[in-house]
């Protein structure tokens, strides 16, 4: 499994887990928490930009384990979880107590995505580029920037694999699907070629008939049942 796929191997949690912050940040938050319990005084986070930056950095890294493009309500989940664990970070004058944290998280994730794109993260690059028919990366209608849940999932190839090796796996699948009681082998090869198949969908946008011809196993009764189960679970 590729690194980018491993980062998002879990579904969005019901209760977002606030990560362990660096030691010095935890010490400062502990002192602020004790002050909050004794005096009810919230930490003036805007006067501590370094502390806020480190908190947002750690939260962004934790969010990336689940999603690159969280929804608005998911940012709220993180902000709520933060002030629930550290009440001293609750904002005075805010009805919910976390609105500023939510906005700051959205900005931080935007900056984080730019950093990952510069580092060559394929999934973010494919969602931030647009393509002309001649293949040059520029403004056109082929690729769209992600909006809300409209995101092109573009995982890396599995470690040690490339386009040529995965094409061989696809061709092998065409033979395996002709055999009886071969569901496990087909599943293994389908799992292995997932990224290759996803790249084809996002980049080439094939017609359904063409895609079905290339990946008949995806449309088999057994695979269709698996897909239906995944949809129900989601």
Mean of the pLDDT values across residues 201-215? 78
- Confidence (pLDDT) at 8: 55
Say if pTM beats, i.e. exceeds, 0.95: no
Confidence of residue 197 (pLDDT cuts 50, 70, 90): confident
The reply to whether 95 and 16 lie within a common domain is yes
Task: Look at residue 211 and tell me if it is in a domain.
Answer: yes
The reply to whether 169 and 95 lie within a common domain is no
Indicate the residue among 127, 148, 173 that finishes a domain. Answer: 127
Task: Look at residue 157 and tell me if it is in a domain.
Answer: no
- Confidence (pLDDT) at 213: 84
Confidence of residue 162 (pLDDT cuts 50, 70, 90): confident
pLDDT for residue 25 is more than 70: yes
Task: Look at residue 139 and tell me if it is in a domain.
Answer: no
Mean of the pLDDT values across residues 211-219? 82
Average pLDDT of the chain is 78
The reply to whether 170 and 118 lie within a common domain is no
Task: Count other C-beta atoms under 10 Å from residue 69's C-beta.
Answer: 18
Confidence of residue 170 (pLDDT cuts 50, 70, 90): confident
Confidence of residue 185 (pLDDT cuts 50, 70, 90): confident
Select the more confidently predicted residue: 64 or 200.
Answer: 64
Collect all residues with Cβ–Cβ distance below 8 Å to 232 and sequence separation of at least 6: none
The reply to whether 102 and 173 lie within a common domain is no
Contacts 24+ apart (CB under 8 A), 186-191: 186/217, 186/220, 186/222, 186/223, 187/222, 187/223, 187/226, 189/217, 190/217, 190/218, 190/223
Nearest to 104 by CA among 151, 62, 53, 48: 53
The reply to whether 22 and 119 lie within a common domain is yes
The reply to whether 7 and 123 lie within a common domain is yes
- Confidence (pLDDT) at 57: 93
Task: Look at residue 136 and tell me if it is in a domain.
Answer: no
The reply to whether 106 and 198 lie within a common domain is no
**Radius of gyration from C-alpha coordinates of the chain:** 22
Nearest to 174 by CA among 231, 215, 220, 226: 215
Mean of the pLDDT values across residues 133-138? 45
The reply to whether 83 and 169 lie within a common domain is no
The reply to whether 167 and 123 lie within a common domain is no
Select the more confidently predicted residue: 11 or 75.
Answer: 75
Token output for 216: 């008949």
Task: Count other C-beta atoms under 10 Å from residue 62's C-beta.
Answer: 17
10: buried, middle or exposed (CB in 10 Å: 19+, 13-18, 0-12)? exposed
Nearest to 197 by CA among 183, 221, 218: 218
Give 147's strand partners: 150
pLDDT for residue 231 is more than 60: no
pLDDT for residue 144 is more than 50: no
* Neighbour-count burial for 43-58, b at 16+ CB within 10 Å, e otherwise: bebeeeeebbebbbbb
The reply to whether 54 and 167 lie within a common domain is no
**Domain carrying residue 48:** 3-127
pLDDT for residue 188 is more than 60: yes
- Confidence (pLDDT) at 142: 47
Token output for 12: 């969005």
Task: Look at residue 43 and tell me if it is in a domain.
Answer: yes
The reply to whether 107 and 194 lie within a common domain is no
Indicate the residue among 74, 105, 127 that finishes a domain. Answer: 127
Confidence of residue 222 (pLDDT cuts 50, 70, 90): low
């Amino acid at each position: 499994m590729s690194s980018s796929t491993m980062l998002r191997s879990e579904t969005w949690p019901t209760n977002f887990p606030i990560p362990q912050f660096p030691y010095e940040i935890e010490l400062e938050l502990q002192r602020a928490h004790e002050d909050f319990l004794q005096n009810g005084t919230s930490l003036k986070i805007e006067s501590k930009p370094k502390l806020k930056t480190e908190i947002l950095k750690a939260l962004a890294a934790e969010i990336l384990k689940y999603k690159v493009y969280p929804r608005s309500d998911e940012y709220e989940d993180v902000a709520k979880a933060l002030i629930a664990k550290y009440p001293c970070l609750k904002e005075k004058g805010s009805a919910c107590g976390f609105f500023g944290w939510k906005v700051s998280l959205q900005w931080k994730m935007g900056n984080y995505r730019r950093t990952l794109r510069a580092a060559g993260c394929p999934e973010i690059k494919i969602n931030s580029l647009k393509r002309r028919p001649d293949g040059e990366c520029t403004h056109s209608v082929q690729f769209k920037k992600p909006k809300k849940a409209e995101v092109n999932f573009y995982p890396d190839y599995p470690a040690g694999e490339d386009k040529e090796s995965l094409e061989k796996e696809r061709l092998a699948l065409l033979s395996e699907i002709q055999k009886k009681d071969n569901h496990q082998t087909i599943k293994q090869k389908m799992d292995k070629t997932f990224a290759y198949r996803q790249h084809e969908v996002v980049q080439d946008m094939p017609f359904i008939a063409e895609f079905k011809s290339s990946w008949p196993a995806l449309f088999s009764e057994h695979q269709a049942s698996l897909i239906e189960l995944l949809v129900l679970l989601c």
